[in-house]
């Protein structure tokens, strides 16, 4: 049996697009027919659950019972991939908790596949977060995500400084989430459906919707580019080596 995979999506800062990235990941694995479940740690009210209610459970990641709910079920759950959308400010403490319960040790031994999607903010403080996070990430696959969806400019980063942080982390890879037209993004928010459902013109209960063809086209194009980034870093190979990873056709 393939080993379970855990993908942590987080940042120590709010409003950088963690949930958006988590949503694209769930859609991506869905397109690959890879059984996926998600935990939304914005307890007690989660945003991720609004878009993926059937796959998502809202948990308090700081509580031991909820930690058990996530990590004690990794081997027994039908879902092969577990995506955890970590609430703002909890990334470092969640990683510390994973160290304490021996999860990172299991990942190191190869019993669990573990990846961290660290969503970067535009401020220089984000660079300090990289060093802090890298310290505890250990042997996990570490992805630094530059999220341009809301036109972030990363204006105050000196490339040399950024590279000095980036290169400190062995095996770290950069992922770029491109900008999506504001109105298209807003309409998906209003529709409260996965990106793939919006593209397919479906509502929350899979019923026919009446979304603008233009907005659907922009979302499809954007999602294809995001998945292209996931293809580039061989994300499917990471969590499920046997599955083919040409996914953009599904986005189309």
Partner 1 sequence: MSFRSSITIVSSPRPRVGKTLLARVLTDFHLHESRAVSAFDLNVGERTLAQFLPEHTTTATIRDINGQMALFDRLIAKDDTTKIIDLGHESFELFFRVAHEIGFVAEARDRSVAVAILFIVTPDKTSVDAYRTIRDRFAQATLAPVHNEMLGPAQHRDKYPLAGRSPTLVRLPVLAPGLRRYIETPPFSFTESITGKAAGVPRDAHSELQRWLRRIYLEFRELDLRILLADLRSSIQFGS
Placement of tokens 């855990």 in the chain: 6
The reply to whether 206 sits near partner 1 by the rule CB under 8 A is no
14, 15, 217, 241: residue in contact with partner 1 (rule CB under 8 A): 217
By beta-carbon proximity to partner 1, the closer residue of 99 and 201 is: 201
d(CA 206, CA 204): 6
Residues 6+ apart with CB under 8 A from 77: 4, 37
80, 118, 146, 220: residue in contact with partner 1 (rule CB under 8 A): 220
By beta-carbon proximity to partner 1, the closer residue of 53 and 217 is: 217
Contact 223, 251 (CB under 8 A): yes
Show the tokens assigned to 94: 């969640």
Question: DSSP 3-state assignment of 49?
Answer: helix
Name the DSSP class of 138: T
- Going by C-alpha positions, the residue among 66, 113, 67, 62 that lies closest to residue 90 is 62
Tell me the closest approach of the beta carbon of residue 222 to partner 1, in angstroms.
9
Query: x/- site string to partner 1, residues 181 to 200, per CB under 8 A?
Result: xxxx----------------
Determine the interface stretch with partner 1 among 95-103, 125-133, 155-163, 180-188 (rule: CB under 8 A).
180-188
Placement of tokens 């942590």 in the chain: 8
Tell me the closest approach of the beta carbon of residue 219 to partner 1, in angstroms.
9
**Would residue 243 be called left, alpha or beta, if left means φ above 0 and alpha means ψ between -120 and 50 degrees?**
beta
Tell me the closest approach of the beta carbon of residue 242 to partner 1, in angstroms.
31
Determine the interface stretch with partner 1 among 10-18, 72-80, 120-128, 215-223 (rule: CB under 8 A).
215-223
112, 144, 196, 215: residue in contact with partner 1 (rule CB under 8 A): 215
Residues that bind partner 1 (CB under 8 A): 181-184, 212-218, 220-221, 252
């Amino acid at each position: 049996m393939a080993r379970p995979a855990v993908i942590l999506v987080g940042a120590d800062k709010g409003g950088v697009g963690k949930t958006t990235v988590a949503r694209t990941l769930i859609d991506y694995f869905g397109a690959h027919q890879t059984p996926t479940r998600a935990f939304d740690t914005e307890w007690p009210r989660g945003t991720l659950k609004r878009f993926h209610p059937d796959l998502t459970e809202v948990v308090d990641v700081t509580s031991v019972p909820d930690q058990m709910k996530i990590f004690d079920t990794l081997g027994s759950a039908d879902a092969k991939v577990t995506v955890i959308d970590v609430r703002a400010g909890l990334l470092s403490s969640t990683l510390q908790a994973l160290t304490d319960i021996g999860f990172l040790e299991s990942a190191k031994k190869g019993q669990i596949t573990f990846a961290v999607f660290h969503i970067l903010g535009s401020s220089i403080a984000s660079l300090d977060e990289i060093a802090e996070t890298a310290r505890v990430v250990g042997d996990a696959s570490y992805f630094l995500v530059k999220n341009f969806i809301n036109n972030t400019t990363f204006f105050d980063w000196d490339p040399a400084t950024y590279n000095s942080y980036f290169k400190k982390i062995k095996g770290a890879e950069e992922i770029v989430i491109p900008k999506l037209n504001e109105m298209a993004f807003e309409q998906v928010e209003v529709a409260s459906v996965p990106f793939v459902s919006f593209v397919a013109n479906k509502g929350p209960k899979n019923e026919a919707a009446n979304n603008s063809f233009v907005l659907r086209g922009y979302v499809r194009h954007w999602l294809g580019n995001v998945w292209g980034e996931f293809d580039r870093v061989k994300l499917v190979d990471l969590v499920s080596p046997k599955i083919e990873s040409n996914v953009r056709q599904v986005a189309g």
